[in-house]
A and B are shown apart, each in its own frame.
Chain A
Amino acid sequence: MVREPVMLGTAVTARVRHAEPVMGTVVSFDVPVTARHDGSLDAAVRWLHWVDRVFSPYQADSDVSLLARAEVTVDGCAPEMAEVLAACAFVRDLSGGYFTAAPGGQFDPSGYVKGWAVERAAALLARAGSADHLVNGGGDVQCAGGRGPGADGMSTAPWRVGIADPLRPGRLALVVEARDRAVATSGTAERGAHILDPHTGSPAAGLASLTVTGPSLALADAYATAAVAMGPARARDWTASLDGYEAYAITDTGDTWQTPGFASHISPD
Chain B
Amino acid sequence: MHPAHSIIIFTVTSGLGFGLLAFLGLGQPAVTGWSAFWYFALGYALSVGGLVSSTFHLGNPQRAWRAFSQWQTSWLSREGVLAVATLTIMGIYAFCAVFLGQTLIVLGIIGAILALATVFATSMIYAQMKTVPRWNHWSTPALFMVLSIAGGALLTAHVLLAVILLAVAGLLQMASWTRGDTALAQSGSDIGTATGLGARGIVRAFEPPHTGNNYLLKEMVHKVGRKHAQKLRMLSFILMVLVPVLLLLIPGGWVIVTLAFLVHFVGTLTQRWLFFAEAEHVVGLYYGKR
Are A and B physically bound partners?
A: no
Q: Which residues of B pack against A, CB within 8 Å?
A: none
